[in-house]
Chain A
Amino acid sequence: MSKEPVAVTGIGQTKHVAARRDVSIAGLVREAALRALDDAELTWADIDAVVIGKAPDFFEGVMMPELYLADALGAVGKPMLRVHTAGSVGGSTSLVAANLIAARVHRTVLTLAFEKQSESNAMWGLSLPIPFQQPLLAGAGGFFAPHVRAYMRRSGAPDTVGSLVAYKDRRNALKNPYAHLHEHDLTLEQVQASPMLWDPIRYSETCPSSDGACAMVLTDRAGAARAPRPPAWMLGGAMRSEPTLFAGKDFVSPQAGKDCAADVYRQAGVADPRRDIDAVEMYVPFSWYEPMWLENLGFAEEGEGWKLTESGVTALDGDLPVNMSGGVLSTNPIGASGMIRFAEAALQVRGLAGEHQVDGARRVLGHAYGGGSQFFSMWLVGSEPPDS
């Protein structure tokens, strides 16, 4: 089986903010979609199919909103698929769209993910009572804090590492015009002095709640040849899932994450990720997940990830920049967050990341996860097509 190479030729995002009261959900997604079409210099008529993703429908209070959004996304008369894989959904949505091209079912696909959290209340959406199950009223931070604690105990990391990540990502966000948080005067000391929410996670080490959308135009080899700007080529992509709760689960470094990365590296011919990959956009909703995922993704030995962070390797001018865009810590429209990681990776290898561009970024990993560290989706994109 030969697969069609998949290229990203258009990327669009909204300016992410706490509440976009000036647009409807349809207006929000259309803004990102039009920017992606403009980037690819295509029109609605060039799009064969639409693949849309978002996190739970309860976050806006609309059941299967893709039905209502068909008109706004130019999908009328076309195939439209709706993906939902929890927090990893933005990544999974990109991969489902890419597969339509790889399988030669369609030639050019618009993929989009969004969350308009201001329409409803995300904490309420996550806290609906479930019969016969323990309520998880602590929110996501309460769920992940013990696993961060477990990582710190296992690795012996000093408790300052989390604040370094948060400070770095928030500084990076200042260079990204689409990022939600632009905290110009933030200091490291302020991060370290911010209120403790779920020990050891402090207020400034958590992601915001954002309204926002991200869209990409994916196309085949012929489409890429016609693209006005450099394409990003997909070199590998994979999804892996495992149960949320079971006795054998390693919450610090889930097997599904390791397997997913290994599959992507195999497809892309990556032997040593630390050497062969230039930068990473990873899903870090709580600051400590940077060192944790560095190990899970094979960029550091077990227990060593925090040393990369502490020594500045993951800084924008470091040897392995992580979350050049400011990451989930600066922008979190939940359903779109995974796609933003994938899109930012593509922007980097296209050389179009503006002020947060990493010089010479030729192969960049986009990473997303969801559920209780249960669902993983990743892609590796490059500036050269896969067979070159």
Chain B
Amino acid sequence: MTRDIAVVAFARTDHRATCEDTSEVEMLMPVLHEVLARTGLRTADIGFTCSGSSDYLAGRAFSFTMALDGVGAWPPISESHVEMDGAWALYEAWTKLLSGDADTALVYSYGKSTPGSVRDVLTRQLDPYYVAPLWPDSVALAALQAQALIDAGDTDEAALAAVGARSRADADSRVPQGSSPGDYVVRPLRTGDCPPVGDGAAAVILAAGDRARALCERPAWIRGIDHRIEAHALGVRDLTDSPSTRLAAEKAGAFERPVDTAELHAPFSAQEVVLRKALRLGDGVRVNPSGGALAANPVMAAGLARIGEAAARIHRGESGRALAHATSGPCLQQNLVAVLEGDPR
């Protein structure tokens, strides 16, 4: 592998509680236009396109087929789709660029959580024979994880509240919530420990080598990217740890040199505690300067947004070496880690 590949542009929707007045394509299109405009590229210039989304959020089969219309897929494009968070679409696109089949890639993902009850919808991810029939929802499962952490002495409710408050403060006025921890949703998690339900989209453009330098003043070079999955059943996992995150970080080269920024996809405050430990992030690392998933959590786009936010900090010169993380599945079952670097300045 000798090819340098970088994130050269990022765009996302503003944090919104709902987009009920727009279809998925209408929600996505401004983001696609914005990310293309940042590079001056048109759809026809893009070598490979890859997207991430979930039919279960849209409530219909083949939901991504219409979203493709928003890309302007004519003449026919080289294109693929993962039924996962867009961070994994970025991974697929990265391998496509690595093999030399393309020099540029458009990656996007989107999710509208608000047409249904996302807590109920996510229960359909669970083992369909033994667990899903009981409808344990995502907040209840995250609460189990939080309680396990508290019982292990890794955190307490006040520390968790501080994570939520910091995230929302960093997200500033874009997020309409106050800094109070709020009422219990499922003990020990309060409103402030849980992600807001919202709709949104994110898009990224990748480019290889000199194309990246031509398209972006300070490309965010992908030094490494890896992802790992753990067993599905919560009973066979240590919920206070995230070995898959640690392994992905190791493979991505995250531990070779310290990072200054970490964008972590931790929809629940307690998950930030788990991830900080797995990633060995010290106090000197700026965690989730964007506000993270506790400020805006468009399901299926929140992970890609972490990579985009980390890259954007490098583009702006605010970071030299950043780590980005995405997660999928109950209680951090599957995790992706990317290490991004800017050229020295």
Could you tell me which A residues sit within 8 Å of B by CB distance? 1-3, 24-25, 55-71, 75-86, 92, 95-96, 99-100, 102-105, 119, 125-126, 128, 130, 132-133, 238-244, 246, 248, 254-256, 259-260, 263, 371-372, 374-375
Contact = CB atoms under 8 A, between A and B. Distances in A.
A1 B62 contact: no
A238 B76 CA distance: 12
Interface in B64-110: 64-66, 68-69, 73-84, 88, 91-92, 95-96, 98-101
A81 B91 contact: yes
Contacts of A71: 231-233
Contact of B84 (A82, A100, A126): A82
Contact of B99 (A69, A99, A125): A99
A146 to B, nearest CB: 19
A80 B229 contact: yes
A84 B60 contact: no
B170 to A, nearest CB: 29
22 contacts: A24-B129, A58-B60, A67-B333, A67-B334, A70-B229, A70-B231, A71-B233, A81-B88, A82-B88, A83-B81, A83-B83, A84-B82, A99-B101, A105-B1, A239-B80, A241-B73, A242-B73, A243-B68, A243-B73, A259-B76, A260-B76, A371-B62
B179 interface: no
B46 interface: no
B285 interface: no
B110 to A, nearest CB: 14
Interface residues of B, number: 62
Nearest to B101: A99
Interface in B105-139: 121-122, 124-129, 132
A61 B121 CA distance: 11
Contacts of B1: 103-105
A77 B23 contact: no
A55 B63 CA distance: 11
B328 interface: yes
Contacts of A84: 55, 64, 81-83
A86 B65 contact: yes
A35 B81 CA distance: 27
A182 B105 CA distance: 45
Nearest to B333: A67
B329 A255 contact: no
B83 A25 contact: no
Interface in B241-285: 243-244, 247
Contacts of A246: 69, 74
A128 B334 contact: no
A347 to B, nearest CB: 25
A83 B88 CA distance: 10
B80 A96 contact: yes
B229 A239 contact: no
B176 interface: no
Nearest to A52: B83
Contacts of A78: 228-229
Contacts of B61: 55-59, 125-126, 128
Given A1-B100, A84-B64, A64 B232 contact: no
A103 B328 contact: no
A56 B268 CA distance: 28
Nearest to A24: B129
A86 B62 contact: yes
B95 A103 contact: yes
Contacts of B92: 81, 83, 96, 99
B227 interface: yes
Contact of B56 (A63, A75, A244): A63
Contacts of B84: 64, 81-82
B3 interface: yes
Nearest to A83: B82
Which of A24, A63, A103, A246 neighbours the largest number of chain B CB atoms within 10 Å of its CB?
A: A63
Interface string B143-178: 000000000000000000000000000000000000
Contacts of B76: 240-242, 254-256, 259-260
A211 to B, nearest CB: 15
B59 interface: yes
A100 to B, nearest CB: 6
